[in-house]
Amino acid sequence: MRIGLVGLGRMGFNMRERLRRAGHEVIGYDRDPQVRDVSGLRELVAELSGPRLVWLMVPAGDPTRQTVAELAELLSPGDLIIEGGNSRYTDDQEHAKLLAEHGVGYLDCGVSGGVWGLEVGYGLMVGGDAELVERAMPIFDALRPEGPREEGFAHAGGVGAGHYAKMVHNGIEYGLMQAYAEGFELLDASDVVTDVPAVLKAWSRGTVVRSWLLDLLIKALDSDPELDDLRGYVEDSGEGRWTVQEAINHAVPAPVISAALFARFASRQPDSPAMRAVAALRNQFGGHAVQQAGPSSGTGQVSDGS
């Protein structure tokens, strides 16, 4: 097939390559002249013939919204846009509505796999009409991993379902990462376990906790056994936040995913206002004098809370 691809960052760049290896013709556009095939959206559209297929891989939020709006003007009835970025599923519903007014179809596609996707393939979750999904299937088949289609691709539901599924995927991912991380720290803190990387590596096969994320952690420890080259400072993207907010909207308890999210927030605070408040309260128990006081020299004590 011939397809337009907007956004050639780390993800889009590799996806173009994987599609081409599968024999598809890809016209790529990016703001960066170094990587693009055409110089603008108009040129990209001109290179395609109807019914056109344009895949978006630009940052979620305003950049995606703006690209959808521009393409709505450039595309023709019967064309199809696939939003493969990380849009919030409610945005998808607005995109679909806008494009429907121009007779342009819309699918949302959650894409997982990171830089490994080029070789391994990408896990795909798609939302939208079955007929449109069918039309784009050669593209999905090229992007997804080899093996049975249903093990790397799902038609999850109507518009938004693909990104909803991806949102939940990322929320789960936060929880999984934090679970391994807490275990790592506890092994690290132990007096009896003397070879932490060896223990994690031994979990690679046969154990209940074996996973691709575990393999990645083992890999990281291979080159940096104490993870000393890194700081414990972790960003979060929108999807973890949306997962918890959506859980709240549905009254679904999400203690693990939210704990993982909050651990990231806390990791970025050089000093926590909340913990200053707790420290202030503890000082108040002990009286103002406590603030300057060193350890008591007597046998007496004041516990916190006594």
Residues tagged active-site? 166, 173
Sole binder of its own copies in the list 107, 111, 139, 142 (CB under 8 A): 111
Paired strand residues for 5: 28, 55
Quote the least distance from Cβ 25 to its own copies, whole Å.
19
Sole binder of its own copies in the list 43, 150, 225, 292 (CB under 8 A): 150
The letter for the amino acid at 279 is A
Stretch that binds its own copies, among 43-51, 72-80, 97-105, 256-264 (CB under 8 A): 256-264
**Degrees, nearest 5: CA angle 149-150-155:** 105
Sole binder of its own copies in the list 68, 72, 113, 136 (CB under 8 A): 113
Does the footprint of its own copies cover residue 61 (CB under 8 A)? no
Sole binder of its own copies in the list 46, 115, 134, 225 (CB under 8 A): 115
Cα–Cα distance, 293 to 268 (Å, whole number): 30
C-beta neighbour count of 36 within 10 angstroms: 19
Tokens 């699918």, residue? 107
Cα–Cα distance, 159 to 157 (Å, whole number): 7
Range 4-33, binding its own copies (CB under 8 A): 6-13, 30-32
Choice between 1 and 227, CB closer to its own copies: 227
Range 160-179, binding its own copies (CB under 8 A): 160-161, 164-165, 168-179
Cα–Cα distance, 23 to 28 (Å, whole number): 15
Contacts (Cβ under 8 Å, ≥6 apart) of 103: 76, 77, 78, 79
Sole binder of its own copies in the list 131, 192, 292, 294 (CB under 8 A): 192
Range 258-297, binding its own copies (CB under 8 A): 258-269, 271-287, 290-291, 296-297
Contact 38, 29 (CB under 8 A): yes
Choice between 49 and 289, CB closer to its own copies: 289
Choice between 17 and 76, CB closer to its own copies: 17
- Using DSSP bridges, classify how beta strands 53-56 and 2-6 pair: parallel, antiparallel or unpaired: parallel
3: buried, middle or exposed (CB in 10 Å: 19+, 13-18, 0-12)?
Answer: buried
How many binding residues for its own copies (CB under 8 A)?
Answer: 171
Stretch that binds its own copies, among 39-47, 94-102, 130-138, 236-244 (CB under 8 A): 236-244
Stretch that binds its own copies, among 45-53, 75-83, 99-107, 227-235 (CB under 8 A): 227-235
Contact 97, 128 (CB under 8 A): no
Sole binder of its own copies in the list 117, 132, 133, 139 (CB under 8 A): 117
